[in-house]
């Protein structure tokens, strides 16, 4: 029924499960992006809105450029007392070039699909993964390792990691060590601190669309194709 009556389905965090399930069963593009409540944000919404429009409304490809600032505050509890930090841009962990199909979302939720008929193939994918404040370095490490043992994981072409919330305790050093320990992804481009996940503002990522990563000399670009 969903395949015959396609709609825009979008959300993040726990919504990852249904986004990937519908994509896997129907081939329809789904969107890792704002909840409806996100549109009620008073300050700091401009970047999120810009990329929502690019991904969902406009028909052309686009680049995922880092936002100027980012925030990890509880905006939904206090709209008029916000804290924004300068954004240094992407963190390059491994360099290289890659092209593939976008698969991903919230990592611990994605992993709940393992062994089910709803788990999408990881073959020839650009993996977009993120986790929230409940995911600490050790849990992120084992969640990523579990994913890398899935069928088709050897075909992952590149990885984009969303910015971690402060309460996760993730550090640049810890993340570098985690990635370096994964021999399965040696030689593919890996970047972190992307505007993707639980830290605002964030891009809308079209699951099932194509992405091209170019990571060289400490710089990274991500291009999305419809």
Q: Residue 94: which of 149, 158, 144, 184 has the closest Cα?
A: 158
Tokens matching residue 52 = 């929502």
Q: Identify the active-site residue in 32, 95, 125, 130.
A: 130
The answer to whether residues 110 and 135 touch, using CB atoms and an 8 Å cutoff, is no
Query: CA dist 66 to 54, 88, 145, 152, 220, Å?
Result: 14, 8, 27, 30, 10
Q: Identify the active-site residue in 13, 121, 139, 209.
A: 13
Q: What share of the chain is helix, strand, coil (3-state, %, to 5)?
A: 30, 30, 40
**Residue 13 annotated in active site:** yes
How many CB atoms are located within 10 Å of the residue 214 CB? 16
Q: Give the torsion through C-alpha atoms of 105, 108, 109, 112, to 10 deg.
A: 130
**Residue 149 annotated in active site:** no
Q: Identify the active-site residue in 95, 135, 198, 200.
A: 198
CA-CA distance, 207 to 118, in Å (whole number)?
A: 14
What's the number of CA atoms in the CB half-sphere (13 Å) around residue 44?
25
**Residue 130 annotated in active site:** yes
- Angle (CA) 119-31-136 rounded to 5° is 65
Catalytic residues, which ones?
13, 130, 198
């Amino acid at each position: 029924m969903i395949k015959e009556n396609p709609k825009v389905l979008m959300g993040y965090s726990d919504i990852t499960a249904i986004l990937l399930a519908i994509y896997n069963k129907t081939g329809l593009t789904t969107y890792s992006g704002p909840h409806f409540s996100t549109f009620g944000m008073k300050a700091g919404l401009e970047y999120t809105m810009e990329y929502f429009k690019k991904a969902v409304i406009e028909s052309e490809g686009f680049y995922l450029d880092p936002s100027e600032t980012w925030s990890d505050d509880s905006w939904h509890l206090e709209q008029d007392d916000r804290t924004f930090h300068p954004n240094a841009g992407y963190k390059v962990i491994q360099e290289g070039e890659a092209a593939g199909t976008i698969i991903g979302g919230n990592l611990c939720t994605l992993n709940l699909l393992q062994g089910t008929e709803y788990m999408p193939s990881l073959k020839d994918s650009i993996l977009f993964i993120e986790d929230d404040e409940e995911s600490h370095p050790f849990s992120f490490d084992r969640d990523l390792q579990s994913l890398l043992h899935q069928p088709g994981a050897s075909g992952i072409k590149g990885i984009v990691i969303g910015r971690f919330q402060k309460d996760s305790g993730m550090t640049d050093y810890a993340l570098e060590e985690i990635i370096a320990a994964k021999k399965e992804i040696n030689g593919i481009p890996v970047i972190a601190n992307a505007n993707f996940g639980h830290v605002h503002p964030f891009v809308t990522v079209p699951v099932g669309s194509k992405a091209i990563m170019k990571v060289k000399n400490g710089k990274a670009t991500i291009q999305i194709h419809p």
